[in-house]
Amino acid sequence: MDNFFNLYNYWIVIFLAMAGLYIVIARGNLIKKLVGLNVFQASVFILYISFGKVIGGTAPILEKGIKVYSNPLPHVLILTAIVVGVATTALGLALVVRIRKEYGTIEEEDIHSQDESM
Amino acid sequence: MKEYLILRIITKLLLPFILLFALYVQFHGDFGPGGGFQAGVIFAAGFILYAMVFGVQAAQRILPDGILRAGIAGGVLIYASVGVVSMLLGENYLNYSPLAQDSKEGQHLGIFLVELGVGITVASVMMTVFFTFSAWRED
Amino acid sequence: MEEAIDIILLALMCVTVIAIVVMRNLMAVVALGGIFSLLAASVFVLLDAVDVAFTEAAVGAGISTMLFVATLALTTRIEKRPVHTPVLPLFVVIVTGAVLIYGSLDMAHFGDPNATAMQHVSPYYLENTKKDTGVPNVVTAILASYRGYDTLGEVTVIFTAGIGVILLLGSWRRGLTPPPPHSDPREGEEEA
């Protein structure tokens, strides 16, 4: 039981990440794949930030009288990762619009069958 | 959007506060949560709200393409040139200590300039991406 | 109390993700994606990561949702029914999840102040930020000063994304009418 609650956060987040991964590999619609990718990224960020939490600590903004802070290093790395994630999403969506213009569809099956029949 | 009177009035009322909050987040990123990225995104969100309610043409009269593209490149340029100035003043690249008399003041100034560059680039990129998406024609 | 809020938020996120997997109306999927980002931002606040929560709420629930809605306006709104059986993806996902859970059994407990992740570099940053930079927000000091080089790379990534979108979608200048249709439509748009 002790192990369960202490690692509960990690397991739920692993479930969320796996659900996002399932959306990416099992669904054919390109926009839904990108939403699944965003879900996967957000879950990985939660996993990473929860490594840095210290019970009894506060946000890492220095104040008089507070001794225990949460670890600021994962916050810095995840801040960069969030911004890179949105850049990737923007480019992916621009590609989806161009694919729609070229193929007339955004379903992966139809795109493959059009490619094979060309 | 002529019919959506409430949306237009509320947007007109809210827009200065959104932009002011973006500037607050940018310049008080040292003392509380905030910094360049958050400020750039909030600034862009204010203008995107304006463009959604009043039309992209109206928003582009305020911020034409040239200014946005200068902003995209200008922010990165500010960031990189802070490092070059540090090198010219004798220290390593992006070491902010020689930028002012006192080393601590130099760090503070360096952080301020760098976050400014980041904020300008992020805001310009988000606005450019929105305007580009909304001007796409299918033919 | 904090654990209760934590459990409720994570449960809401699980429900949202299952709804995203099942629903086929893309507008609803995109809205649920925005809700997921907002719940993630709330979890970040619980985990004392206020800068990250700010960025995730602004970027994930704001800009990302706006981009998805703009793309939906330019493409379709309903997803086709899935054609393949989901057996192989489910198998892959379950195996990956099991391996990750097995790997997490060895980790330090949640919130442990003696975990290895807290030991080497972070106490240095927490002690020396006030002395070196005079900036109270340690995350900003690390981002802009101690690890400023990485942030330069990140700004370059955002710059590249902006340039990429302009190259992909910005064929002709806005405000002007589109060029007259050429005989070969594919070639015509590349010269503008």
Contact check, Cβ <8 Å, A90/B129: yes
The dihedral built from the CA positions of residue A71, A72, A75 and A77, taken in this order, carries a sign that is negative
Judge contact between A29 and A107, C-beta under 8 A: yes
Tens-place pLDDT, residues C104-124: 888 777 777 777 767 788 888
Q: Does the pLDDT value for residue B63 go beyond 80? A: yes
> CA dihedral in degrees (C165, C170, C173, C175; nearest 10)?
-90
Q: Is A75 exposed, middle or buried (0-12, 13-18, 19+ CB in 10 A)?
A: buried
Tens-place pLDDT, residues B2-16: 678 999 999 999 999
Q: Does the pLDDT value for residue C125 go beyond 90? A: no
Q: Does the pLDDT value for residue C178 go beyond 80? A: no
What is the per-residue pLDDT for B2? 63
Q: Is B61 exposed, middle or buried (0-12, 13-18, 19+ CB in 10 A)?
A: exposed
Give chain B positions within 8 Å (CB) of C58: 38, 41-42, 45
Q: Does the pLDDT value for residue C191 go beyond 60? A: no
Using a CB cutoff of 8 Å and minimum separation of 24, what contacts does A66-69 make?
A68/C113, A69/C126, A69/C138
State ipTM. 0.91
The span from the CA of B60 to the CA of B80, in Å, is 28
Q: Touching check for A31 and chain B: CB below 8 Å?
A: no
A–C CB contacts, 8 A cutoff, strictly below: 266
Judge contact between C67 and B129, C-beta under 8 A: yes
Question: Which amino acid type is present at position A18?
Answer: M
Give chain C positions within 8 Å (CB) of B51: none
Phi, psi of C16 (to 5 degrees): -60, -40
A71 in the Ramachandran plot: left (φ > 0), alpha (ψ -120 to 50) or beta?
A: beta
What is the per-residue pLDDT for C118? 73
Q: How far is CA C118 from CA A82, C2, C15, C124, in A?
A: 22, 22, 33, 10
Nearest CA in chain B to A104: B138
pTM, whole model, 2 decimals? 0.88
Mean pLDDT of the A6-34 span: 89
Nearest CA in chain B to C128: B104
Q: What's the pLDDT band for C181 if we cut at 50, 70, 90?
A: low
Give chain C positions within 8 Å (CB) of B120: none
Query: Which of C32, B77, B84, C51 has the alpha carbon at shortest distance from A82?
Result: C51
What is the per-residue pLDDT for C76? 82
Q: Does the pLDDT value for residue A39 go beyond 90? A: yes
Residue with the bigger pLDDT between C25 and C118: it is: C25
Interface test with chain A among C65, C75, C155, C163, by most A beta carbons within 10 Å: C75
- Helix ranges (H only) for A1-118 are 2-26, 30-51, 73-103, 108-117
Q: What's the pLDDT band for C177 if we cut at 50, 70, 90?
A: very low
Mean pLDDT of the B79-92 span: 88
What is the per-residue pLDDT for A15? 93
Judge contact between C158 and B121, C-beta under 8 A: yes
The dihedral built from the CA positions of residue A83, A87, A90 and A95, taken in this order, carries a sign that is negative
The span from the CA of B117 to the CA of C142, in Å, is 17
The span from the CA of C121 to the CA of A75, in Å, is 14
Mean pLDDT of the C11-33 span: 93
State the average pLDDT for chain B: 89
The alpha carbon of B115 is separated from its chain's Cα centroid by a whole number of angstroms, namely 10
Mean pLDDT of the A88-98 span: 93
Angle at C71 between CA B121 and CA C84, to 5 degrees: 125
How far A101 CA lies from chain B's nearest CA (Å)? Answer: 7
Judge contact between C26 and C72, C-beta under 8 A: yes
State the average pLDDT for chain A: 87
What is the per-residue pLDDT for C172? 57
Question: Which amino acid type is present at position C73?
Answer: A
Residue the block writes with tokens 């101690």: C146
Contact check, Cβ <8 Å, C49/A59: yes
- 3 state DSSP class of B14: helix
CB nearest A61 (choices: B32, B129, B138): B32
Interface test with chain B among A31, A49, A58, A61, by most B beta carbons within 10 Å: A61
Judge contact between B134 and B51, C-beta under 8 A: yes
Range with the poorest average pLDDT among B73-82, B125-134, C140-149, C172-181: C172-181
Mean pLDDT of the C27-46 span: 94
Q: Does the pLDDT value for residue C7 go beyond 70? A: yes
Q: What percent of chain A has pLDDT over 70?
A: 95
Q: Does the pLDDT value for residue B34 go beyond 50? A: yes
Question: If you ran DSSP here, which 8-state letter would residue A104 be given?
Answer: S
Name the helix (H) or strand (E) containing C120. Answer: none
CB nearest A97 (choices: B33, B122, B136): B136
Q: Does the pLDDT value for residue A7 go beyond 80? A: no
Tens-place pLDDT, residues B91-113: 788 888 888 888 888 888 889 99
If you compute the radius of gyration of chain C from its CA atoms, what whole number of angstroms results?
Answer: 23
Nearest CA in chain A to B122: A83
Query: Which of A38, A47, A45, A2 has the alpha carbon at shortest distance from A20?
Result: A38
The alpha carbon of C44 is separated from its chain's Cα centroid by a whole number of angstroms, namely 13
